Amino acid sequence: MLAFASSLVPRVCAGCRGHLGPLCPACAAHLVGPARPAVVRPRPDGLPTVWTVADYEGPTREAVVAFKDHGRWALRAALGATLAVSVAAAAADVPDPSMLTLVPAPGSPGSARARDGDHVLELCRVAARRLRGTGVAVRVAPVLVGVRRRRDQVGLGRAARADNLSGSIAPTTAAAGLPGVLLVDDVVTSGATLAECARALRSVGVEPFGACVVAATRGRH
């Protein structure tokens, strides 16, 4: 009876708190559009080209935060579909696109457990399934790990973000030799996380051809 009753309650939209959730058509429209390179200034050393679709503000920001921090797993389909658009654009920079490899940015040790899952890895899997459905050969390889806890990046300046992340990510033994690597995160702000991921991969001889996100902080693209 409880399950039946709960099914009758309208699902709240993560973007506007209205009905027609998990994301109403008006809020979902913010996640639609062509991908474009994100302009990150000042650009961290070693940051590859980052492709984005949406502005990290308004309904998009609310949806990402709800998915990432509040367990709204039903949002993975909409956010993953947007990520697939970024991946498709970034794939044009891969010399041999016969196999793309999506490498998700890892959280701090224990963050996946605290959030009941790895949200970036989930978005990668959704994007990969969508792209395979269009005939694109793509796999997901979670070959980066957080090796020490980091402070929350919110509120930190650019230099502090870089210091906070320096040496915090390492490759696993499975990272070496991966082809057609594209880094993935949910959002780009300063670019420090993706630059650290790129550094970790280069330490085992793997050069990422680009990076893909759902959204970028407004003014950086």
As a whole number of angstroms, the distance between CA 138 and CA 71 comes to 27
Residue 12 counted as domain residue: no
The pLDDT value given to residue 218: 74
The pLDDT value given to residue 7: 41
Residue 17 counted as domain residue: no
Residue 197 counted as domain residue: yes
Which residue range is the domain that position 177 belongs to? 35-216
The pLDDT value given to residue 141: 98
pLDDT by residue (tens digit) across 60-108?
999 999 999 898 999 999 999 999 999 999 999 999 888 899 999 998 6
Residue 189 pLDDT level (bands cut at 50, 70, 90): very high
Asked if the model's pLDDT at residue 110 lies above 90, the reply is no
Residue 161's CATH number: 3.40.50
Residue 178 counted as domain residue: yes
Q: What is the mean pLDDT of residues 131-156?
A: 80
Residue 139 pLDDT level (bands cut at 50, 70, 90): very high
Q: How many domains does the chain have?
A: 1
